[in-house]
Amino acid sequence: MSRYAHPMNSPYRLYLGFQFAMAVLLGIIQATIIVYWVTAGRLNPLQLVLLGTVVEAAYFVLQLPTGMLADMVSRRLCVVAGVFVLALGYIAQGLSPAFAVLLAAQVLIAFGAALMYGAQESWIADELGEKEMTAVYIRSEQLGLVGVIVGSAGSGFMALVALRLPLLVGGGLMCLLAVALAVLMPERNFRPAASGLRPRAVLRGASGALGEQVRSTSRAVRAVPGLVLLFAMTFFLGMWSESFDRLWGDFLIKDITFPQLFGMRPVMWFSVIACMAAVLGLGTTELAGRRTKRLGPASVTTTLLIITAATAILVVIMGTAHAFYLFLAAYLAVSALRPAYEPLVTGWMVVRVESQVRATALSARDMFDSGGQMVGGPVIGVVGNLVSIRAALLAGAAALGPALGLLMAATRRIRATHASELADGTNIVEESAGRL
């Protein structure tokens, strides 16, 4: 075991602390942001989805270059810069709910997210030097869910004062977090894919360096059985998630409506719902982690298959519900299942892809997700405007069908490879015994 793996060691504690702090701040911002968009911004279903489309389009364009930057220059630099740019995007939204301002802010959010995601997972994998990272990412996800509970609880009270206040407070504190990371975050074990290049040299020889990085990543991804199928699954999962994330709140506000309970206003309902979803997510990530630990890495795709099938059923229930509590139960179940996706896939990937292209490969995975959201978002938004939000939610759920098919294919491929490796190992042992 690496000396960095001990829970009292600085990189491990810093990573978990960073994930918790970011989750608190994102919980403050995101728990009531839909109410801000719908109430203060007066956005319709198509506009809501277009916000997501702009985010994903910008993320799609920026993700691979930023992943390469993390692999060639510095993962620490990308994480710090990403937090700061993300903060600016949320502050800009808090300053004005005008649709044009909200759209421009999504580009900043996409840039910040592209810098961070992939880089932070690769950074901790390098610092810990572990052979199996799934448990670390699941623990991070669980701490993040605790942070979401803390942040979401505060978001409701802030929004009662002013709907924009959670955005301004969360964004401002995120700027301070970026400064703290710049001071505290180490980078001891990073070996750049282009170790002889410095920023100026990278700019001068960008074409050749980036081309080689793309080719190296492509070879590494193809060498991992089932990984291309998981990437394709991510594309269709993105198509579904766009309709879900952007429209469920609008559907709840306009179609389902809230019961009269303790005089609670919509912002408090959204705060409570976010807290409940995070608590349930803690349970599902723990179960997913235990199942993977018990059955081994080859069980990851089977676990994802079960989660996706359950999600598809629950989304149909959500889209056809008319009663508040039935809708709420289905939504909470879907929200509880979703946090298990990323740590399972990320933990499975980082130990199978070469370190030199790890952040780029994670960026490529995220590009598939963004591509799905870009393709599905506008179409689903038009359905929401021309037919109904209910129809748009159900149309988005249809994308989970191909995702299930791809997961089945990936499961068969990975099981076959695993069985072949076991058989080869047995043969080697038998041959060695025969020679003795």
27-41, 85-99, 290-304, 412-426: which range is least confident on average?
412-426
CATH code for residues 3-185+209-435:
1.20.1250.20
pLDDT of residue 418: 54
121-125, 211-215, 312-316, 424-428: which range is least confident on average?
424-428
pTM exceeds cut of 0.85: no
Domains of the chain, residue spans: 3-185+209-435
pLDDT digits (tens, 9 = 90+) for 78-132: 999 999 999 999 999 999 999 999 999 999 999 999 898 878 878 887 787 755 6
- Taking 90 as the threshold, does the pLDDT of residue 227 lie above it? no
Instruction: Round to whole Å and give the CA distance between 105 and 102.
Output: 5
pLDDT digits (tens, 9 = 90+) for 324-352: 999 999 999 998 888 777 777 776 676 66
185-199, 200-214, 297-311: which range is least confident on average?
200-214
> Residue 73 contacts by C-beta under 8 Å, 6 or more apart in sequence?
192, 197, 199, 202
Nearest Cα neighbor of 165 from 359, 299, 35 is 35
Please count the other Cβ atoms lying within 10 Å of the Cβ belonging to residue 276. Answer: 17
pLDDT of residue 289: 64
What are the CA-CA distances from residue 130 to residues 2, 126, 351, 405 (Å)?
6, 8, 8, 32
Instruction: Round to whole Å and give the CA distance between 88 and 82.
Output: 10
pLDDT digits (tens, 9 = 90+) for 358-407: 666 777 777 788 788 888 878 888 888 888 888 888 888 888 889 888 88
pLDDT of residue 3: 41
pLDDT digits (tens, 9 = 90+) for 284-315: 777 766 665 665 555 677 788 888 899 999 99
Secondary structure (H, E, C), 297-343: HHHHHHHHHHHHHHHHHHHHHHHHCCCHHHHHHHHHHHHHHHHHHHH
